[in-house]
Amino acid sequence: MKEIKFRTGVGAAIVAVALTVAACGSASSSSSSSTSTKVAKASSSAAAATGPAKVQAAKGKVGTYLTGPNGHALYLWMGDSAGKSNCTGACAGAWMPLTTSGSPVAGAGVTAADLATIGRSGGAEQVTYKGHPLYYFSGDSAAGQTNGQGSTAFGAKWWLVSPAGASITGSGKSSSGSSGSGGWAG
């Protein structure tokens, strides 16, 4: 009899553990799904091309940097190579490419001749500045935010872009703000 009670107790414990794991997995999936939905919404609102993209300059703690049509900061990724985006899949979900329908337009502080486009898989045209593919960061929810500055997400640094086309490598903590050479990762 003791053996039957023991087996029943062990069986109940296994069922309880399985139910707990399933519940945790469900909560995790729900949370993950919710996060993915938020990123997708940010991605579609920030990067959707509804006409020619206007690139302009804004001033912030790190100096003057490029912004997209919605006023959000634009970044370059040191993992890209000259005139080619290497940010795809999950990378492009967190760092949305600035795309355009038609030739990009230069706004205040931007040199029109430095704007161009490159093709992405799926047919979208991504805006470049002096050869650097441009991206929004999903962590910037409003104009003036530069939360992606200095990130090493996806294996290389992300920097704001100066109107000269160089990477701005300052952290925004000093008043001078430094800018790098804008060189490519090799």
Give the chain as a 3 state SS string.
Answer: CHHHHHHHHHHHHHHHHHHHHHHHHHHHHHHHHHHHHHHHHHHHHHHCCCCCCEEEEEEECCEEEEECCCCCECEEECCCECCECCCCCHHHHHCCECEECCCCEECCCCCHHHEEEEECCCCCEEEEECCEECECCCCCCCCCCCCCCCCCHHHCCEEEECCCCCEECCCCCCCCCCCCCCCCCC
> Cα(112)–Cα(43) distance, rounded to whole angstroms?
25
Instruction: Give per-residue pLDDT as tens, 154-182.
Output: 999 999 999 999 999 987 533 333 334 44
Instruction: Give per-residue pLDDT as tens, 11-66.
Output: 444 433 333 333 333 333 333 333 333 333 344 434 455 789 999 999 999 999 99
Write down the pLDDT at residue 171. Answer: 76
> Cα(19)–Cα(156) distance, rounded to whole angstroms?
41
Write down the pLDDT at residue 106. Answer: 98
Write down the pLDDT at residue 51. Answer: 87
Q: State if pTM tops 0.85.
A: no
For range 99-120, the mean pLDDT: 97
Q: Which helix (H) or strand (E) holds 168?
A: strand 167-168
Write down the pLDDT at residue 49. Answer: 55
- Residues above pLDDT 90, as percent of the chain: 61
